[in-house]
Each structure stands twice: as C-alpha cells, then as structure tokens.
Amino acid sequence: MAQTPNIQYEMPKAYEPGKVEQKWYQFWLEKGYFKPKIDPEKKPFVIIMPPPNVTGELHIGHALTATLEDILTRWHRMKGEPALWLPGVDHAGIAAQVVVEQLLEEEGLTRHQLGREKFIERMWQWANRCRQTIAGQHQRLGASCDWSRECFTLDEGPSRAVRTAFVRLYEKRLIYRGERIINWCPRCATALSDLEVDHKEITGHLYYVRYPLAEGNQFITVATTRPETILGDTAVAVNPNDERFKAKIGKKAILPAVNRVIPIVTDEAVDPGFGTGAVKITPAHDPVDFEVAQRQGLLLVNILNPDATMNENAGPYVGLDRFACRKAILADLEKDGLLVKVEPYSHSVGHCQRCQTTIEPIASKQWFITMPPLAKPAIDAVLDGRITIIPGRFTKVYLNWMENIRDWCISRQLWWGHRIPVWYCQECGELTVAVKDAKACSHCGSAKIEQDPDVLDTWFSSALWTHSTLGWPDDTEDLHYFYPTAVMETGYDILFFWVARMIMMGLEDTSAVPFHTVYLHGLVRDEKGEKMSKIKGNVLNPIDTLEKYGTDALRLALSMGTSPGNDIKLTTSRLEAGRNFANKLWNATRFIIRSLPPQEEFVSAWAAYKVSLDKLPVEDRWILSRLNRTISSVTSLMEDFQFGEAQRQIHDFLWGEFCDWYIELAKIRLRSTGEVLSPIPVLVYVLETSLRLLHPYMPFVTEELWQHLKQRLPSEWPATESIMVAAYPEAEDKVVDLQAERVIESVIEIIRSIRNARAQYQVESRRWVEAQIYSSQLSSAIIPYSQTIQTLARARPVTFPSSREEAPPQENTLVLVLKESEVIIPMESMVDLEAERKRLQEEIEQIQAEVARLETMLRDRAFLTKAPAVVVDRERDKLAIRKDKLGRLKQQLIRFQA
Ligand SMILES: [Zn+2]
Ligand SMILES: [Zn+2]
C-alpha cells in the first residue's frame, strides 16, 4: 500500500506545482481512489468520458472537458457516491487514417503501396502510441478517472457491441444497402455522412449553355455551376407551369460533347426563377436530380472515377481531372458557340471535414440506417424529461434536427475501423450478416464468401459508447450498476454527431436512456474571442500551459466564467489569476501553520472554541457564517452546473474575505497580550473546510496544503487519508449569523473607505488620520473594533460620537457616506492645509500663465495662417487640457479654504 508522501514540518516559501502534482497523482492512483466500489445501497454517479481521437495529442478543448468532468466526479465522490468516470479513446476512422496517410506520404508511400494488412499494422502502432500519450496527458491534468476500465473503440468488447448492434438493426430491417447520392471525398476516396461535410460559401460562376434540339434548329438553354457534369445529364427539366417552355416539353435535346439524346421533361421541383428556368438533370451527381430521376424513370450516368478523374462515360474527356475537364469542356462549348454567357455566382460548396477537398455528390451503393424509427423514442425521451439538455436552448435544436432526420450513410471506403460484418456469397449471391466472422454462406452453405471491404463510420461505435464500455451486449455487473449513466458532458458542436446518436442507439439496444443529463460546454477561444487554430497560430497547448502556470491554474482559468453552452476565453491574465490564487492560498496556509501553538495548547483552544458559538467574537461568527453561506450557495450552483460562478464564489470568499480580512483581524488577536480567545481554531477550521470546498477545482494545491495542515492537527480532528476522499462540506444553517455579517461588513467598509480617502489624498503611509464614526444602528457593535480600525486604517483617534451635536461641526472635513454609517475625516489630519494651499496656489498660477500664453498664440492670425493645421489642433488640445486641470485645481483649493 502507498505511503502518504512525506510532508515537511515547515512549508517551503513558495508553491512549486511541478514538485507537488506528480507526487499526489501517483498517491491517489496507488490508493485506488479512482476506482469506485460497487455498493448496491448507494446510487452511483457515472460519466463516460467523450473519447479523444487517436489523431495526436490533447488540445485545450480536451483540457476543458477533462476539467469540468473531473470537477463533477471529484465533487460527487466527496459526497460519498460511488463515482465512476470512465476514460477511453476513439479510433477516429477517417481522421486518424488521414494523419497516418500523411506520415506515409513523407516516406513517399501510399496506403495502397503498403497494402491493407501492413497499413492496419501501422495504424495500430500509431493508435497505441496516441493512446498512451492521451492517458499521460489526462493524468497531468489531474483527471480522476478509473484507468482500470479504460476503453478503446476497437477493443474486443466495443467491437463485439458494434457487430451486435449492426446485426440487430439489419435483422429489424433498419440497416439496408442501397444506391443513393452520397458525399464523396476524392482525396479520402470514401463516402461521408452529411455531418462530415463543411459547407463554404464560394464565389464561382454560373455558366449558361445551349443544348440543340434534336429536330429543327432551336435550342434550350440551361445554367450550371459545374459544366463538367453536362456529361452525366440524362434530361432537361422545366416546371410544368412555366409557359415559356410549353412548346419544347416532350421534345428531345442533344447533349453537347457526347451527343447523347436526352428528353425534356417537366417536374414540380424545378424552380422557374433559377437560371433560364430550364435545368439540366444529372441524377448520378446531384441529390435533387437523383430524386427527379427516380420520379421520372431517368437513367443514371456516373461520369467520375473514385479519385474524381473522368471515367469512360465522359467521352473525349476520359482520364482528365474534374477541374481540368471543366476547363476543356468550357473551351469546346465556346468554340461551338454553345456557351451563351457566364455570370459570377456565389454558392455553397461542400468540403471534406478532414482534408478540405471539394466534395462530389455521387450516386453510390452504400450501407444506410433508417433513422426516423430510431429518432422517435429519442425525441420522446427528451420531451418527457427522462433526459434533460443543459442549457435548455439546445433542446429545440435537438428536436428540430431529430424531427427532420435523414438516413445515415454508415459505410466508409476506408481501412481503419470496424469492418462491416457482411459477407457476400459468390454461389447464391445472398448476404450473410453475423456477429462472429462467417466461414460459410448462411443461405447455401458455400465457403465462397467474401467480407464487405468497407468499414463503418467511426460515429457508429461512438453511438454505442455509453453501454459498450460497460460490457454490453453482455449482461455485466457494470452494466447493471452503472447504466444509465448520470451526465454526458461534451461540447455543443457534437450534439448531432454524437449525443443524439447515443440517445437513439442507447434506447434501441438497452431500452433505457444512456444518461439523464446532457451538459453542453462551449468552445475555448483566445483573448480576442477567436477560435483557436493552428493556422491562426493562437493555439495554447495544455501541457505547455500547465508547465508554465501549474495544473490548478490552468483548471481554474478554464472553469473561470464558464457557464453551460457558452464559449470561454482563455487569456494569459486568467492563467496568471489562477497561479496567483494558488500562491495566495499557499501563503495563507503557511502563515496559519507557522502560527499554530504546541499541540496541547491547540487542543484546549479547540475545546474552548467548541463550547458555544455565541460566545465567540463577532468576527469569528462572521467568517463562519460567510463560510456556511458560501457552502450552500456553491452547492446549489454546482447542482445547476454553474461551475464558473461556484468557483468565483469560493475564490472571492477565500481571497476577499478569509485572506484579506479574517486573517488580518486574527493577526491583531494573535499579537495581543490580553485575555483574548485564540483565533487559531477558527483559522484552521475555515481553511480546512474551504480547501475541501475548493478541491474539485484545484485538486493538487488543495491536497498539498491540506496534508500540511492535517499533520499539525490534534488527533481528534476528523481526517481521512487524502482530501479527495474527505467529505464535501455541507452547510450548517445554525451557524449563519446575519447580525455578525452586518457588523463586520460595516467595519470592513469603514476601514476600506478610510484607506481609499488616504489614497485619494496621497496621505503619507506613516501619517495617522483622525476619524469620527457615526452609526445610529451599529455603533455599540462597532465600538469594540475601534482598535482594529486604528490598526488597519492607520486612523487615530477613532471616535464614536453618539450624535452629530456631541461633536462640534468642523470646517474642512471629508464626509464618507457608507451603507450603515458615516465617516468624517478632518482634512487637517490628512494633509498640512497651509502647505497644501500654497502648493495648489503655485500650481494654479503656473497653469494660468500657460493658458494665457496658449490663448495669445491661438488668437495670433499670423500663427493661424502659417502653421500647419495639425500643429494648430495640437495647441488647441493642449489649451483644453490645461483649462480642465485648472478648473479641478481651483475646486480643490476651495475645498481646503471652506
Ligand atoms: Zn477528405
Ligand atoms: Zn450462398
């Protein structure tokens, strides 16, 4: 068993995250804290981590995911729930294959040269390396996930889940193979789903082309953005109500370049407002035309090879690249007088999400899932509240997409991924669809069968992730206990890709929702609010960042200001704020530990403190009350997933109230020689509790400080072995003392206002100022703090006249009106009035002289005509600035003469 790392008696002067982080992570790991105990009496808290792709290292978006999920997991674990955060990685089909193909390219190789088997081997080497890197980086981020359950989408279990789900859907006739228009990436040489295509607005051209009619010497003119597709036209269509084409309907046209005769048909789908009103129909290369062709019984002519060169159907252009073909055909049309005109035209063009190559819509035989029957229960689950989406505004987005869902093309012409579990029989032509590798045709028994060469869309396995990681399709203890999971925390950008599909497949496979809450976080942007990208060069690498500022600082910066669904800005100042906060806590703890009395004294002080709450000094009751109200507010914010605000409240309490005020007040008591109750128990109690409150956000520094503190506590102080398995603080209502808060807040306000006045009048730091404090309601409560006010505001004497009459009205006073009191400071106590008056008068005279000089100059015609306009303007600006300053100086002088 692991030993608690050695803690020195005296804390080092400064916090060095690098020295601390690894030590504690290792300790937690060895203690097995990340692995939940299955306890049927308790409801577990479960998050399945969105698996990062094996495409390289973690980026800052992953660091945000890890931070938020770790906050949730640590919090629930401290609440005593068996907390499972299950980590994993995704084989990332096309994305990973593209990366390795690029590496091969550097060696002058293609995947085809290598062959399927060798290529897959290379993929595995790459994936295993990434898997290790990713796990190591998560550990550095402090992720408290259960590494014993770590999963990879291509592992045996998830792979069996993929095949089982496929076979079941196939048997329910929800998976089918058919010819449809799909998005084809010529570079990746694969089909893509609609979601994997990025649409970009492109300024291109609209070409008007004349097709001669078969009889007579008339023409029909069509407009197109892709003239090379003319070669694949199988009709011209017009709207049946378009009077302009009445005479041409039913006639035949001759396709330029290839001289194919095609019919002129009518179809309701034709928009008479586009181009000439007559449109070319290219069913094999346009989804709308494909549907027209289905309705009209038109031919499909595919003109492209998989690499987007022209195939044998392209006549004279065979073998040309699609864009070269475009040029060639335009030149030929022009030569034949068939190109009527060319207009600039901006339209949306699909690009491959992975390689940015222009997509070609191509009619192709692929595997699809029929989505509407799967969407229906997934819509119901959100409508009836079994699943809540946070923030709520995404519910509408989800429902809208699901209600208009289209069939999902799941086959990919790639090598890296789950091979489609379908075998084609060469004897009888039937399909064998099976979970286990088929050896013979299930229809005729022939051994002459061949597996479909394609793999499944990587999102198919992702869609099963919540249950495949817990053992499905087997009926495992994990599946029983941890499924449905609690929260799916991920970026809003993959709501459709992933979240929606998990809901559909979870319900389909298990009849239960995969999670109860979907929490969508935003994107991480740079200081200017721009998306981070390698091209812009504004990418922050999470590991470099945590090495520079410390992991806790990075985590704090990432959760700072975060709220559901909103993007966050990661700025240097936030990272610095995170580091400064860790240092502030370090110094505060170091001070408290250095102030601890010997054990026996501490035990008796602790005993005295425990006697009765209302015997404690007001400031003790104040800080305890504030602590408890912070705990209850933080708890309800965390229940609402408002981590940014929860974190801010813990930070503000610790820094703005505990460190800045309570510790300062306590120092006065510690220095006092009189009979005062020691503040030590309260200092320790508040610090220890606050560290636990903060732990989910800053796990490393809180553990280090807590261990230092724990070591010096009396043995009866309840403590666990590590802060991460200590209880999360719970608010105690009886400790809330609003009157104490009112009093101390007034005292703080008084001190602060005097300090501000001193700063405003630039009072020398050694000088004492006088202060009279009026407070009709709180005087008697504040009077005991006069010594405190003296010390902390450097004010002497501090008096509390019971009414204005008691103190004679004074001239030359500064009156500070506060929430529940008024502070009056005689000006004389802040500044030497005579000297100040003299100084002001001298400054006024000097500025008056300058004003006079400038005014004379600006009245001088010769100057005004000769000098360049910029110079005149500059002098005018100078005059305005001087006049303004003069006014303010005069006002100040009046204040001193009243
Ligand atoms: Zn591509
Ligand atoms: Zn057969």
Q: Give the closest ligand to the alpha carbon of residue 431.
A: 2
**pLDDT for residue 826:** 86
Q: What is the mean pLDDT of residues 577-590?
A: 96
Cα separation, 53 vs 815, in Å, equals: 64
Region at 812 (left for phi over 0; alpha for psi -120 to 50; beta for the rest):
left
For residue 423, the CA-to-ligand 2 centroid distance in Å is 10
Write the pLDDT tens digit of every residue in 467-511: 999 999 999 999 999 999 999 999 888 888 899 999 999 999 999
Q: What is the mean pLDDT of the chain?
A: 91
Q: Give the closest ligand to the alpha carbon of residue 425.
A: 2
Rg of the Cα atoms in the chain: 38
Write the pLDDT tens digit of every residue in 726-739: 999 999 999 999 99
Nearest to 672 by CA among 799, 791, 766: 791
Give 603's contacts (C-beta < 8 A, 6+ positions apart).
714, 716
For residue 438, the CA-to-ligand 2 centroid distance in Å is 12
Do 486 and 519 form a contact (C-beta atoms < 8 A)? Answer: no
Residue 810, pLDDT > 70, answer: no
Residue 809, pLDDT > 60, answer: no
**pLDDT for residue 752:** 95
**pLDDT for residue 210:** 92
Global pTM value? 0.86
Helices 643-652 and 680-694 meet at what angle, rounded to 10? 160
Nearest to 234 by CA among 277, 289, 278, 271: 289
Residue 533, pLDDT > 80, answer: no
**pLDDT for residue 813:** 79
More confident site: 818 or 502: 502
**pLDDT for residue 4:** 65
Measure CA 262 to chain center: 54
* Per-residue confidence band for 258, with pLDDT thresholds at 50, 70 and 90: confident
Identify residues whose C-beta is under 5 A from ligand 2, the ion.
Answer: 425, 427-428, 430, 441, 443-444, 446
Most confident of 16-30, 251-265, 808-822: 16-30
**pLDDT for residue 682:** 92
**pLDDT for residue 35:** 97
* Per-residue confidence band for 257, with pLDDT thresholds at 50, 70 and 90: confident
User: In which element (H, E) is residue 213 found?
Assistant: none
Write the pLDDT tens digit of every residue in 261-313: 999 999 998 999 888 899 999 999 998 899 899 888 898 999 999 999 999 99
Q: Give the closest ligand to the alpha carbon of residue 93.
A: 1
**pLDDT for residue 284:** 92
Q: Give the closest ligand to the alpha carbon of residue 442.
A: 2
More confident site: 816 or 505: 505
* Per-residue confidence band for 528, with pLDDT thresholds at 50, 70 and 90: confident
Write the pLDDT tens digit of every residue in 114-148: 999 999 999 999 999 999 999 999 999 999 999 99
Residue 34, pLDDT > 60, answer: yes
Question: What is the rounded end-to-end Cα distance, in angstroms, of the chain?
Answer: 78
**pLDDT for residue 76:** 98
**pLDDT for residue 305:** 92
Cα dihedral 669, 672, 675, 681 sign: positive
**pLDDT for residue 8:** 59
**pLDDT for residue 898:** 52
For residue 409, the CA-to-ligand 2 centroid distance in Å is 26
Write the pLDDT tens digit of every residue in 335-377: 989 999 999 999 999 999 888 999 999 999 999 999 999 999 9
Q: What is the mean pLDDT of residues 446-464?
A: 95
**pLDDT for residue 1:** 45
Identify residues whose C-beta is under 5 A from ligand 1, the ion.
Answer: 185, 187-188, 352, 354-355, 357
> What is the 3-class SS of 462-487, one letter each residue?
HHCHHHHCCCCCCCCHHHHHHCCEEE
With 0-12 CB in 10 A as exposed, 13-18 as middle and 19+ as buried, what is 556?
buried
For residue 448, the CA-to-ligand 2 centroid distance in Å is 8
Do 465 and 502 form a contact (C-beta atoms < 8 A)? Answer: yes
Q: Give the closest ligand to the alpha carbon of residue 443.
A: 2
For residue 537, the CA-to-ligand 1 centroid distance in Å is 23
Nearest to 828 by CA among 782, 729, 897: 897
Q: What is the mean pLDDT of residues 698-720?
A: 88
